[in-house]
Amino acid sequence: MTRYDILTAVPTAFHSDGALDLEGSRAIFRFVAESGNEGAFILGTTGEFPAIDATEFAAIVEAALAELKDRMRVVVHVGQPSTFEALRLVEIAKGLGATEFAALTPYYLKATDQSIFDYFEALSAAVGDGRLYVYIYPARSGNPVSVELLTRLAALPNIVGAKVSELSLDEIAAYRAAVPDDFDLYTGADRDLIAAVRSGAQGVVSGVSSVTPKPFRALADAGRSGDADAIAAAQAAVDDVVSLIGGDMARMKEAYRVLDVVDTHCRMAIAEPTDAEREAVARVLSLIHI
């Protein structure tokens, strides 16, 4: 059966001074738990992972598992610039009960294909009986993953799929043609659920769905129905929401304020929404009724 999975990329809550707001993060997790989505992707780009230390990582993972694990899959992102750091996060998350993991390729410094392979080989061994996704985001990491390299990675034990961000549908299709049928591919492009599935993906990892799950659920349902008119209408609704909020964590957090989930802020150097953008967020939330 063709899948239209939606994994929610979950923001992390911070106080206005930048301190971690663990109770605020719990409130976000509880909101996401009611979305009906298939899973949650925590401590990824939307979760501002580069600004999280190991102690905070442990606290967030523990909270996420407590609030979400009985409701949906929880994929914990552990990617780091070095194998040493990534392995440390795997062990922390495993110790707290995590069973699904994702890892961005090593980033900042240029890596060879072999060094990327070695990194994932070590992570594959470390997750034990868990499941590991390769996170491919060359626009941020600086390190692409060729079709040939992904084919090698897909053969490693416990590596079960990949999340692909800011790559074309043709590139997703090329990955699909090269990896095993049971290897899952997820696009990181919020609006591309239907197009990515048609290119061979199994779903989307969507940050925008963390605050507006309803139009994304409608799009997934329309995709499963195969009704062209329903797909077109649902796609238009998703396009409208994504065009306003996009991958902007500050706007997502403005939505949480409007929804009275939590008054939260970004820790990283992300511009606050303008007054016009705040008004637009409030307007779209009132129209879609979440």
Residue 204 main-chain phi, psi, to 5 deg: -130, 145
Burial zone of 68 (CB within 10 Å; 0-12 exposed, 13-18 middle, 19+ buried): buried
Helix (H) or strand (E) holding 224: helix 213-225
Active-site choice (94, 133, 163, 256) = 163
Catalytic residue among 4, 107, 119, 137: 137
Beta strands per DSSP E along the chain: 5-10, 39-42, 73-77, 100-104, 131-136, 159-164, 184-187, 203-206
Q: Is 137 a catalytic residue?
A: yes
CA distance 264 to 15: 6
What is d(CA 124, CA 157) in angstroms, rounded to the nearest whole number? 6
Three-state helix/strand/coil letters over 27-84: HHHHHHHCCCCCEEEECCCCCCHHHCCHHHHHHHHHHHHHHHCCCCEEEEECCCCCHH
Q: What region, left, alpha or beta, does residue 220 occupy, with left being phi > 0 and alpha being psi -120 to 50 degrees?
A: alpha
Cα dihedral across residues 193, 196, 197, 198: positive or negative: positive
* CB of 204 closer than 8 Å to CB of 5: yes
Interatomic CA distance for residues 21 and 13, integer angstroms: 5
Does the active-site annotation cover 135? Answer: no
To which H or E segment does residue 196 belong?
A: helix 193-198
Active site residues: 137, 163
